[in-house]
């Protein structure tokens, strides 16, 4: 049991939970009725297991730098609680099982898109982009923004896929300010392990401005579901209130550069922001308060 617990520790369960939330919302938004709950459960399992597989490979690739960072040095691999071989077998198992569920019990399109997303995060982002460019999180964010599309296609295929792409765009634009806030908070650790995160290569002031710009863009992008008729007034009110809160944090980061807590507070807010925003989409969809 201790080994199984440590293997679960490689899966980044909090991150996978957020991924699953956006995927499940994509499922329910894809049809005007209640989708098959069996299909929702199976598709969620397939997407979740695949996301966990990508997280395991991320741990394997980052083992050496994880050991040097206080945020990650207690992970199972740096602590020697799990061997690289065990982690590799676990990651392959999760990926094969998850993709198998999607291929045989959901549909091929979702399986292919999930596989591309897995490769995008575990290989393209983790093994190359993360160490190659300060735009790593922007480009690699496409993989993390895929779950709403995966959820949508698992239920509705390509029908109404343009609306799924709006959900993708929201998560894609949300990712840079979310992660750059954490990167500011941990800038010295990223500098120590020579990972070219934006605050390391371009400085804290430039990164703060980028956070503000992306947050302002995110505010506009989150209005698109309402403007396109995808959602109604409940979502609109939620998006505006949440968006103004995020913008306020971004402004505070710029105005209070000496505040050691504001960056991490912004990071935590951004997680709650995305969760509540997607829940608002779901509530709005079923209460049908649309104008």
Mean pLDDT of 150-167: 97
Q: How far apart are CA 242 and CA 277, in angstroms?
A: 7
Q: What is the pLDDT of residues 7-26, one digit of tens each?
A: 888 889 999 999 999 999 99
Q: How far apart are CA 60 and CA 65, in angstroms?
A: 10
Mean pLDDT of 140-167: 96
Q: What is the pLDDT of residues 19-53, one digit of tens each?
A: 999 999 999 999 998 999 999 999 999 999 999 99
Q: What local confidence, expressed as pLDDT, does residue 288 receive? A: 60
Q: What local confidence, expressed as pLDDT, does residue 290 receive? A: 43
**Burial classification of residue 265, based on how many CB atoms lie within 10 Å of its CB (0-12 exposed, 13-18 middle, 19 or more buried):** middle
Q: How far apart are CA 179 and CA 199, in angstroms?
A: 11
Q: Which string of DSSP letters, residue by residue, matches 82-118?
A: S-HHHHHHHHHHHHHHHHHHIIIII-HHHHHHHHHHH
Q: How far apart are CA 197 and CA 194, in angstroms?
A: 9
Take residue 265 and report the two structure tokens written for it: 């507070």
Higher pLDDT, 133 or 71: 133
Above 70 in pLDDT, residue 177?
Answer: yes
Q: What local confidence, expressed as pLDDT, does residue 167 receive? A: 98
Above 90 in pLDDT, residue 4?
Answer: no
Indicate the pLDDT class of residue 1, thresholds 50, 70 and 90: low
Residue 181: C-alpha distances to residues 26, 120, 163, 169, 264 (Å): 26, 22, 28, 19, 6
CB count, 10 Å around CB of 108? 11
Q: What local confidence, expressed as pLDDT, does residue 213 receive? A: 98
Mean pLDDT of 185-204: 94
Q: What is the pLDDT of residues 230-286, one digit of tens each?
A: 999 999 999 999 999 999 999 999 999 888 899 999 999 999 999 999 999 999 998
Yes or no: say if 101 and 26 are a contact pair by the CB < 8 Å rule: no
Above 80 in pLDDT, residue 174?
Answer: yes
CA atoms within 13 A on the CB side of 228: 14
Mean pLDDT of 58-67: 90
Q: What is the pLDDT of residues 82-138, one digit of tens each?
A: 999 999 999 999 999 999 999 999 999 999 999 999 999 999 998 898 989 989 999
Indicate the pLDDT class of residue 66, thresholds 50, 70 and 90: confident
Q: Which string of DSSP letters, residue by residue, matches 185-254?
A: HTHHHHHHTT---HHHHT-HHHHHHHHHHHHHHHHHHTTHHHHTTSS-HHHHHHHHHHHHHHHHHHHHHH
Above 70 in pLDDT, residue 289?
Answer: no
Indicate the pLDDT class of residue 291, thresholds 50, 70 and 90: very low
């Amino acid at each position: 049991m201790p080994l199984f617990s440590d293997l679960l520790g490689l899966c980044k369960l909090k991150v996978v939970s957020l991924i699953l939330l956006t995927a499940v919302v994509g499922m329910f938004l894809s049809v005007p009725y209640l989708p098959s709950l069996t299909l929702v459960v199976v598709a969620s399992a397939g997407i979740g297991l695949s996301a966990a597989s990508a997280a395991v490979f991320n741990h394997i690739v980052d083992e050496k730098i994880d050991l040097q960072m206080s945020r990650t040095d207690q992970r199972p691999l740096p602590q020697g609680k799990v061997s690289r071989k065990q982690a590799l077998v676990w990651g392959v198992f999760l990926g094969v099982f998850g993709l198998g569920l999607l291929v045989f019990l959901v549909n091929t399109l979702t399986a292919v898109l999930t596989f591309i997303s897995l490769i995008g995060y575990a290989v393209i982002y983790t093994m190359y982009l993360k160490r190659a460019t300060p735009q790593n999180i922007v480009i690699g964010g496409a993989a993390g923004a895929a779950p709403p599309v995966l959820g949508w296609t698992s239920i509705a295929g390509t029908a109404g896929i343009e609306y799924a792409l709006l959900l993708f765009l929201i998560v894609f634009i949300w990712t840079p300010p979310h992660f750059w806030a954490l990167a500011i908070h941990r800038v010295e650790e990223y500098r120590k392990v020579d990972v070219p995160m934006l605050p390391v290569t371009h400085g804290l002031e430039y990164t703060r401005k980028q956070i503000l710009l992306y947050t302002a863009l995110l505010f506009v992008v989150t209005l698109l579901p309402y403007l396109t008729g995808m959602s109604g007034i409940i979502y609109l009110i939620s998006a505006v209130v949440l968006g103004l809160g995020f913008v306020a944090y971004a402004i505070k980061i710029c105005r209070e550069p000496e505040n050691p807590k504001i960056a991490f507070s912004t990071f935590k807010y951004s997680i709650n922001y995305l969760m509540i925003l997607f829940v608002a989409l779901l509530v709005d969809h079923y209460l049908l308060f649309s104008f």
